[in-house]
Amino acid sequence: MNGNEADLRALLRELDDPQWLERPQHYDRGGIAARFGDLVARLEGEFAAPCTAEQDTQDSSEFGRVTVPGDATVCGTRIVVCVSKFGSLALVCADNPGAFLGTDEARAEGELDDADLAKVDGVLAELGYAVVPEELLESDYDGPSRLPAHVQWPTWWHRFFGIF
Averaged pLDDT of the chain: 95
Helices (H), 28-113: 29-47, 103-108
The reported pLDDT for the residue numbered 115 is 98
3-state secondary structure of 134: helix
- Cα 13 from chain centre: 16
- Please report the pLDDT score of residue 58 as a whole number: 87
CA separation, residue 39 to residues 1, 33, 53, 66 (Å):
29, 10, 10, 8
Q: What is the pLDDT averaged over residues 67-92?
A: 97
CA distance 82 to 45: 18
Q: Which pLDDT score, from 0 to 100, does residue 164 have?
A: 80
Cα-Cα end-to-end distance for the chain: 30
Q: 11-54 pLDDT, tens per residue? A: 999 999 999 999 999 999 999 999 999 999 999 999 999 999 99
